[in-house]
Amino acid sequence: MRNGLVHKIGVNAALAIASFVSVFPFFWLMVGATNTSAEILRGKTSVGGALSNNFQHLTEQVSLLTLFYNSSKISIIATVLTLIVASLAGYGFEIFKTRWSERVFAALLAMLSIPFAALMIPLFVTMAEVHLINTHAAVILPSIASIFVIFYFRQASKSFPGELRDAARVDGLKEWQIFLHVYVPVMRSTYAAATIIVFMANWNNYLWPLIVLQTNETKTVTLAVASLLTAYTPDYGVVMVATTLATLPTLIIFFALQRQFVQGLLGSVK
C-alpha cells in the first residue's frame, strides 16, 4: 500500500511538472495580450491594462467577424467530410485487405511523405483550371482525402473486434450497416481524437490557403495573424490578442470532446 502511495505521488508530481511546462507559454500569451508592445519587449510578465486597447486596435485592422466566419466554415466542412471519407477508407483498407489494396496503401504512405512545397504549384494550376482560385472550396477539396487520417483510422481499426462484425453479419446486416451501426459507435474515442486533430489541422492550415486565397474577404484567421506579425513595427500586444483568440476554437473542441476519452469502449457497446 505504501508503495502505491509513493507511486501515486511520483506520477502526480511528474504530471504537474509536464503540465506546468506545457501551460507556461500559454499563460505568457494571455498575459502578453494585456500588455503594450513596448512592455512585452521589455519582458514584463505581470498582467497589464492594455487588453481593451489591444483588442480595439485589432478590430480596427481586421474584420474579426469575417475572419472567424471563413475559418469556421472551412474547418467545420472539411472536418466533417474528412472524417466520413477517411474513416470509410481506413476501415476498407483494414477489413477488406487484399494484395492490391495493400500495395495501394503502401503507395499512399509514400505520397504522404512528399513535401507540400513540391506539390503546391501544380495544385494551383489544377485549381485555376476548374476556376476555384480564391474560393473556400479550393482550400477544402484537397484536404478531405487526408492520407494521414486514413492511416490513423486504419491503425485504429486493428482493434475493432472481429467477433462484433461476424455477429452482425450473422444477424444479416449489410456491410454499410455494420460500418454505420457497429463500427462508428464502437470507435467513438477514435472519432473524437480524429475530430480534434483534423479540426486543428484545418484551423491552423497555412501554406495552401495562403497561396489560393487572394482577398481580405476570403482570408482566414491564421493568415491574418501572420500578416500582423511581419510589419516593420509589429504591435506585439495586438498579435497576442489575435493569437489568443485564434487558439480558442480548437481548445473549445478539445474540451467538448475529451469526455469521449474517459468513456471507454465497453461503455459505448452497452
Residues of this chain, 89-108, that bind other proteins according to CB under 8 A:
89, 91-93, 95-98, 100-101, 104, 108
Interface pick for other proteins out of 15, 47, 137, 180 (rule CB under 8 A): 15
Residue type for position 207: L
Q: Report the distance separating Cα 253 and Cα 193, nearest Å.
A: 10
When asked if residue 241 is in the footprint of other proteins (CB under 8 A), the reply is no
Q: Which stretch binds other proteins (CB under 8 A): 48-56, 66-74, 122-130?
A: 122-130
Q: Which stretch binds other proteins (CB under 8 A): 47-55, 63-71, 72-80, 121-129?
A: 121-129
Instruction: Locate 37 and state its grid cell.
Output: 508592445
Q: Which stretch binds other proteins (CB under 8 A): 46-54, 69-77, 147-155?
A: 147-155
When asked if residue 164 is in the footprint of other proteins (CB under 8 A), the reply is no
Residues of this chain, 17-36, that bind other proteins according to CB under 8 A:
18-23, 25-26, 28-29
Give 80 or 145: the residue with its C-beta nearer to other proteins: 145
When asked if residue 6 is in the footprint of other proteins (CB under 8 A), the reply is no
Q: How far is the CB of 65 from other proteins (least distance, A)?
A: 18
Q: Report the distance separating Cα 139 and Cα 203, nearest Å.
A: 11
Q: Which residues of 98-124 are buried (b: 16+ CB within 10 A; e: fewer)?
A: eeeeeeebeebeeeeeeeeeeeeeebe
Residue 60, CB-side half-sphere exposure with 13 Å CA sphere: 8
Q: Which stretch binds other proteins (CB under 8 A): 47-55, 63-71, 72-80, 88-96?
A: 88-96
Q: Are 157 and 91 in contact (CB under 8 A)?
A: yes
Q: Which stretch binds other proteins (CB under 8 A): 46-54, 71-79, 226-234?
A: 226-234
Residue 87: which residues within 8 A CB-CB, separation 6 or more?
149, 153, 184, 187, 191, 194
When asked if residue 170 is in the footprint of other proteins (CB under 8 A), the reply is no
When asked if residue 175 is in the footprint of other proteins (CB under 8 A), the reply is yes
Residues of this chain, 43-82, that bind other proteins according to CB under 8 A:
43, 61
When asked if residue 111 is in the footprint of other proteins (CB under 8 A), the reply is yes
Instruction: Locate 117 and state its grid cell.
Output: 512545397
Give 1 or 110: the residue with its C-beta nearer to other proteins: 110
Q: How far is the CB of 172 from other proteins (least distance, A)?
A: 15
Residue 187, CB-side half-sphere exposure with 13 Å CA sphere: 28
Interface pick for other proteins out of 113, 162, 172, 270 (rule CB under 8 A): 113
**What is the torsion angle, in degrees rounded to the nearest 10, for the CA atoms of residue 73, residue 139, residue 249 and residue 145?**
100
When asked if residue 231 is in the footprint of other proteins (CB under 8 A), the reply is yes
Interface pick for other proteins out of 112, 167, 180, 256 (rule CB under 8 A): 112
When asked if residue 223 is in the footprint of other proteins (CB under 8 A), the reply is yes
Q: Following DSSP, what letter does each residue of 189-245 receive, concatenated?
A: HHHHHHHHHHHHHHHH--HHHHHH--STTT--HHHHHHHHHTSSS--HHHHHHHHHH
Distances from the Cα of 221 to the Cαs of 167, 214, 255, in angstroms?
Answer: 48, 14, 21
